[in-house]
């Protein structure tokens, strides 16, 4: 294992993704300092060997690389640029790696503000969900300066398996939104396929087996399809988070003149799911919306 003890990592956002990512960084030999808005995440990470900081500013003062994975664009702006934020702890060589899925436009704006203070920024959102975070097999897609990406590579290697430099600032976020488009539209297709199969009087489990061995195979078919049939709607990735990401995708599409008709439909259906009070369930709960829209069995 490489000697990573000379690179100090600060980590903000100790939720379902952040905690196992911190654990993997510590296992790789990085000294890690953490900050979070709630105590539970801090206590869990300190128990794993991390050190607690009093604020994002204090974290920045004692870190070489700060990683954030928080809720959405306003949360990133607050910890990066707000009172006692990362920018107030600026020092030579500091890098802010934001792994939140957020607006590419806001990412570029934050990066410009940090650059004025001498802080480099990478947008490096991830795909792979909680299991990928636990197993250190995340796909990491990064935007920013390529030499900064290479400088952070050892930290990325501690958390992920597929590391892709995507281009200038905001590029990582754009690629992540493309991921969310592909994931959500495929999820919707699986919901429709199962519903069609059920309403046509055919065993959907046989359908999953047959389609999963052919050109219709997908991660969503193999992993979410069985959960839909079993009525398992526990969240690996929450529907309300998918709704947020699709909103960013549609905003980005509008700004660039891209037509996303299928994504627009998926966004509307996820919004309906949230309106029904089911935003905290897994994205496979989209199946409930399609079922509710379908005609009752004769």
Phi/psi at 153 (nearest 5 deg)? -55, -45
Q: Residues 131, 244: one domain?
A: no
Q: Residues 180, 107: one domain?
A: no
Q: Over the stretch 104-140, which tens digit does the pLDDT of each residue have? A: 999 999 999 999 999 999 999 999 988 999 999 999 9
| 176 tagged catalytic | yes
Q: Is residue 3 part of a domain?
A: no
Q: Is residue 224 part of a domain?
A: yes
Tell me the H-state helices in 100-238: 104-116, 129-135, 146-159, 171-199, 204-211, 219-230
Rounded mean pLDDT of 264-286?
98
Rounded mean pLDDT of 235-247?
95
Q: Residues 164, 182: one domain?
A: no
Q: Residues 76, 110: one domain?
A: yes
pLDDT surpassing 80 at residue 147: yes
pLDDT surpassing 70 at residue 209: yes
> Which of 139, 168, 197 marks a domain boundary?
168
Q: Residues 100, 216: one domain?
A: no
- Domain span at residue 215 reads 174-293
Give residue 4's pLDDT.
Answer: 86
- Structural domain tally of the chain? 2
Q: Residues 50, 144: one domain?
A: yes
Provide the CATH number for the domain around residue 203.
1.10.1040.10
pLDDT surpassing 80 at residue 89: yes
Judging by DSSP bridges, how do beta strands 138-143 and 126-127 pair with one another? antiparallel
Give residue 281's pLDDT.
Answer: 97
Q: How confident is the model at residue 1 (pLDDT cuts 50, 70, 90)?
A: low
Q: In the chain, pLDDT over 90 holds for what percent of residues?
A: 95
Provide the CATH number for the domain around residue 48.
3.40.50.720
The whole-angstrom separation of Cα 206 and Cα 149 is: 45
Q: Residues 151, 283: one domain?
A: no
Q: Over the stretch 28-59, which tens digit does the pLDDT of each residue have? A: 999 999 999 999 999 999 999 999 999 999 99
Q: Is residue 29 part of a domain?
A: yes
Q: In the chain, pLDDT over 70 holds for what percent of residues?
A: 99
pLDDT surpassing 80 at residue 63: yes
Q: Is residue 298 part of a domain?
A: no
Q: Is residue 2 part of a domain?
A: no
Q: What angle do CA 233, 103, 157 make, to 5 degrees?
A: 75
Per DSSP, the three-state class of 273 is helix
Per DSSP, the three-state class of 181 is helix
Q: Residues 134, 214: one domain?
A: no
Rounded mean pLDDT of 15-21?
95
Q: Is residue 16 part of a domain?
A: yes
Give residue 193's pLDDT.
Answer: 98
CB atoms near residue 150 (< 10 Å): 12
> Which CA distances in Å does 216 have to 179, 223, 256, 290?
18, 13, 30, 19
Q: Residues 145, 209: one domain?
A: no
> Which of 150, 168, 186 marks a domain boundary?
168
Q: How confident is the model at residue 295 (pLDDT cuts 50, 70, 90)?
A: confident
- 117, 151 Cβ separation under 8 angstroms: no
Q: Is residue 79 part of a domain?
A: yes
The whole-angstrom separation of Cα 50 and Cα 106 is: 30
Give residue 297's pLDDT.
Answer: 53
Q: Residues 163, 178: one domain?
A: no
> Which of 168, 195, 223 marks a domain boundary?
168
Q: Residues 19, 81: one domain?
A: yes
The whole-angstrom separation of Cα 138 and Cα 151 is: 18
Catalytic residue among 145, 176, 244, 288: 176
Give residue 298's pLDDT.
Answer: 44
Q: Is residue 143 part of a domain?
A: yes
Q: Residues 234, 214: one domain?
A: yes
User: For the chain, where are the E strands, in sequence order?
Assistant: 9-12, 32-35, 51-52, 65-68, 95-98, 120-123, 126-127, 138-143, 160-167
Mean pLDDT of the chain: 96
């Amino acid at each position: 294992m490489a000697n990573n003890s000379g690179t100090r990592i600060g980590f903000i956002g100790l939720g379902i993704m952040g905690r196992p990512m911190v654990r993997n960084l510590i296992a790789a030999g990085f000294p890690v300092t953490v900050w979070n808005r709630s105590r539970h995440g801090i206590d869990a990470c300190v128990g794993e060997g991390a050190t607690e900081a009093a604020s994002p500013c204090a974290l920045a003062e004692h870190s070489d690389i700060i990683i954030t994975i928080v809720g959405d664009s306003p949360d990133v702006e607050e910890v990066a640029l707000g009172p006692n934020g990362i920018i107030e702890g600026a020092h030579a060589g500091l890098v802010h790696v934001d792994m939140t899925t957020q607006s590419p436009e806001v990412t570029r704006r934050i990066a410009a503000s940090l650059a004025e203070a001498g802080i480099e920024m990478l947008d490096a959102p991830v795909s792979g969900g909680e299991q990928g975070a636990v197993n250190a097999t995340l796909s990491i897609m990064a935007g920013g300066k390529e030499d900064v990406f290479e400088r952070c590579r050892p930290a990325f290697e501690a958390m992920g398996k597929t590391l892709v430099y995507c281009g200038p600032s905001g590029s990582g976020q754009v690629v992540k939104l493309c991921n969310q488009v592909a994931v959500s539209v495929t999820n919707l297709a699986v919901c429709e396929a199962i519903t069609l199969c059920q309403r046509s009087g055919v065993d959907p489990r046989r359908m999953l087996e047959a389609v999963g061995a052919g050109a219709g195979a997908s991660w969503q078919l193999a992993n979410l399809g069985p959960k839909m049939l079993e009525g398992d709607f526990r969240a690996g990735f929450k529907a309300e988070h998918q709704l947020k990401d699709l909103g960013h995708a549609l905003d980005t599409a509008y700004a660039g003149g891209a037509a996303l008709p299928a994504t627009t439909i998926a966004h509307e259906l996820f919004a309906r799911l949230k309106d029904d009070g089911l935003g905290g369930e897994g994205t496979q709960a989209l199946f409930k919306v399609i079922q509710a829209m379908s005609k009752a069995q004769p």
